[in-house]
Amino acid sequence: MSGVRLLVGTRKGAFVLTSDGTRDEWDVSAPMFAGWEIYHLKGSPIDPDRIYASQSSGWFGQIVQRSDDGGKTWETVGNEFAYAGTPGTHQWYDGTQHPWEFARVWHFEPSLDDPDTVYAGVEDAAIFRSTDGGHNWQELPGLRTHPSGESWQPGAGGLCLHTIIIDPENPQRMFIAISAAGAFRTDDGGETWLPINRGLRSNELPDEDREVGHCVHRIAMHPSKPETLFMQKHWHVMRTDDAGDSWQKVSGNLPSDFGFPIAVHPHEPETIYVVPIKSDSEHVPPDGKLRVYRSRSGGNEWEALTDGLPQEHCYVNIFRDAMSTDTLDPGGIYFGTSGGQVYGSSDGGDTWNAIVRDLPAVLSVEAQTLP
Amino acid sequence: MIRVALPHHLRTLANVDGEVELELDGVPTKRAVVDALEATYPVLRGTIRDHATLERRAFIRFFACGQDLSLEPDDAPLPPEVAAGEEVFRVVGAMAGG
């Protein structure tokens, strides 16, 4: 029988949650890498037992862990992320120039066809690639050295490259997003990058329509429609149907269009999910009610999903990498909170259950559908 | 023989219990101790000092004989008690966060 494995990164370690295809009962692992921040774990789509984990600490820096047995055992691999050439500077919070400094890996994106190839999105914003299972990392410097790079400014969480999406129909095309530079696309395997932010408006910027500087929080794609992307920006939910050449706002009737994660239903490419957050000043759900909002029309018309979620006294946040879907039928969707809960739905969001309630603050959730 | 005490998370990472004992050639210095640590436990590379610059990470301190040696030159000889294995060279994670 098929099953689901959730890879959960938290402020104080990683956890693996497993269930069979019914998704009724879950096994929760003991903490792995206890006490370390685990920003993200992700498995290879063609070898789900190959998992990469970003382990970091303000004291001891970056560690990369790799498992070849689905998270039962781990080995440390390479942790040297050296920017290519002379790194130069980017803009700091106060407008002065600041040296490019590696801080941590925010996101791993394994290749769609080679378990040994994996991309890493890092802070300060850059993309690295390993082709030997994580032992050695090389920067794809065309992104960071884009002419706009010197003007990139960190968001509140740092100048982080947090989203990497590989086009399943065109391996030369990838999309990435950086807070607070914006979204970029490569059509040549990472050699050169194009800002794709036309249509985004951010009134935090002196020029609301500028080419870069937008605080993109997350991008999602359905593999059957790689020209269509959905974006949760700092404020505003957006979509593009031309691979980012132009964006349209689809916030519609959301109670707030500030938020972090965004996800697409595994079998319905026009069904999308967000979790509205009150504002950039108050990272909590509006009215103390934890509500996932679902649109079945690719945006604009949204419905609140509340069955099984706390509808009073709830003041948690949901971080950008903490929502994921499985590919079972009916499709499952999962998210973790800053309060340590991991919620799951095995019916596309109609009903929810807390799989686990008292983990450390959840930074990331990745669902793996197992054969 | 040099005795080195690592902080909890680095002991876990290096899969060691208690103190680490290192044999060094020549006069022991901070640089020689960290070189030997990294050679013996490659997983510690990048966790105590930067890969490229070899500068001590900001929240790492080095203590021995009741003194903070963090700001001493990397190639300065360590106290004779450390060199003799009578005192422990401590790698410490700075207290931070309340």
Q: How many CB atoms lie within 10 A of CB A323?
A: 28
pLDDT digits (tens, 9 = 90+) for A98-130: 999 999 999 999 999 999 999 999 999 999 999
Task: State residue B97's pLDDT score.
Answer: 59
Considering the domain boundaries, does residue B17 fall inside one? yes
Task: State residue B96's pLDDT score.
Answer: 67
Among A16-20, A92-96, A329-333, which stretch is predicted with the lowest mean pLDDT? A92-96
CB-side exposure of A52: number of CA atoms within 13 Å? 29
- Residue A153, min C-alpha distance to chain B (Å): 23
Q: Which residues of B touch A (CB under 8 A)?
A: 7-10, 13, 43, 45-48, 51-52, 57, 59-60, 93-94, 96
Q: How far apart are CA A336 and CA A359, in angstroms?
A: 9
Query: Average pLDDT of B33-53?
Result: 97
**Given a cut of 60, is residue B98 above it in pLDDT?**
no
pLDDT digits (tens, 9 = 90+) for B57-96: 999 999 999 999 999 999 999 999 999 999 999 999 987 6
**Given a cut of 90, is residue A203 above it in pLDDT?**
no
Rg of chain A over all Cα atoms, to the nearest angstrom: 19
Q: How far apart are CA B63 and CA B41, in angstroms?
A: 20
Fold of A3-370: Methylamine Dehydrogenase; Chain H (2.130.10)
Is the bond leading into A14 cis (omega within 30 degrees of zero)? no
Label residue A198 by pLDDT band (50, 70, 90). very high
Mean per-residue pLDDT of chain A: 96
Nearest by CB: B46 against A36, A58, A79: A79
CB-side exposure of B59: number of CA atoms within 13 Å? 12
CA distances, A56 to each of A35, A191, A357, B26 (Å): 10, 28, 24, 34
Label residue A156 by pLDDT band (50, 70, 90). confident
CB pairs under 8 A between A and B: 40
Chain B residues with CB under 8 Å of A62 CB are: 46
ipTM: 0.93
User: Is A80 an 8 Å CB contact of chain B?
Assistant: yes
Q: Could you tell me which residue, A84 or A205, shows the higher pLDDT?
A: A84
Domain tally, chain B: 1
Query: Average pLDDT of A217-240?
Result: 98
Considering the domain boundaries, does residue B98 fall inside one? no
- Residue A324, min C-alpha distance to chain B (Å): 29
Do residues A55 and A108 touch, judged by C-beta distance below 8 A? no
Task: State residue A76's pLDDT score.
Answer: 97
Nearest CA in chain B to A12: B9
Task: State residue A2's pLDDT score.
Answer: 86
Q: How far apart are CA A70 and CA B47, in angstroms?
A: 26
Considering the domain boundaries, does residue B12 fall inside one? yes
A65-71 own/partner pairs: CB under 8 Å, 24+ apart: A65/A33, A66/A133, A66/A134, A70/A5, A70/A16, A70/A43, A71/A5, A71/A7, A71/A14, A71/A16, A71/A29, A71/A32, A71/A41
Do residues A216 and A177 touch, judged by C-beta distance below 8 A? yes
- Sequence-distant (≥ 6) Cβ neighbours of residue A305 within 8 angstroms: A291, A292, A293, A294, A345, A349, A350, A352
Strand order in the sheet with A333-336: A323-325, A333-336, A342-345, A353-356
**Given a cut of 90, is residue A205 above it in pLDDT?**
no
Q: Could you tell me which residue, A157 or A80, shows the higher pLDDT?
A: A80
Q: How far apart are CA A343 and CA A323, in angstroms?
A: 10
Residue A106's Cβ-count burial label (10 Å; 0-12, 13-18, 19+) is: buried
Query: Average pLDDT of A160-164?
Result: 98
Task: Say yes or no for a CB contact (<8 Å) between B13 and A35.
Answer: no
Check which CATH number belongs to the domain holding B49 and give it: 3.10.20.30
Task: State residue A206's pLDDT score.
Answer: 78
Range of the domain at B89: 2-93
**Given a cut of 70, is residue A1 above it in pLDDT?**
no
Chain B residues with CB under 8 Å of A35 CB are: 8-9
Do residues B2 and B87 touch, judged by C-beta distance below 8 A? no
Considering the domain boundaries, does residue B49 fall inside one? yes
Nearest by CB: B51 against A59, A63, A80: A80
Cite the DSSP H helix spans in chain A. Answer: none
CB-side exposure of A264: number of CA atoms within 13 Å? 21
Task: State residue A61's pLDDT score.
Answer: 97
Query: Average pLDDT of A132-159?
Result: 96
Using a pLDDT cut of 90, give the percent of chain B over it. 93
Query: Average pLDDT of A268-289?
Result: 97
Cite the DSSP H helix spans in B1-98. Answer: 8-14, 30-40, 80-83
Do residues B64 and B78 touch, judged by C-beta distance below 8 A? yes
Cα–Cα nearest to A367, from A51, A31, A1: A51
Query: Average pLDDT of A233-250?
Result: 97
Nearest by CB: A62 against B43, B46, B48: B46
The model's pTM: 0.96
Task: State residue B5's pLDDT score.
Answer: 98
Label residue A306 by pLDDT band (50, 70, 90). very high
Using a pLDDT cut of 70, give the percent of chain A over it. 100
Q: How far apart are CA B37 and CA B11, in angstroms?
A: 12
**Given a cut of 80, is residue A209 above it in pLDDT?**
no
Nearest by CB: A61 against B7, B52, B57: B57
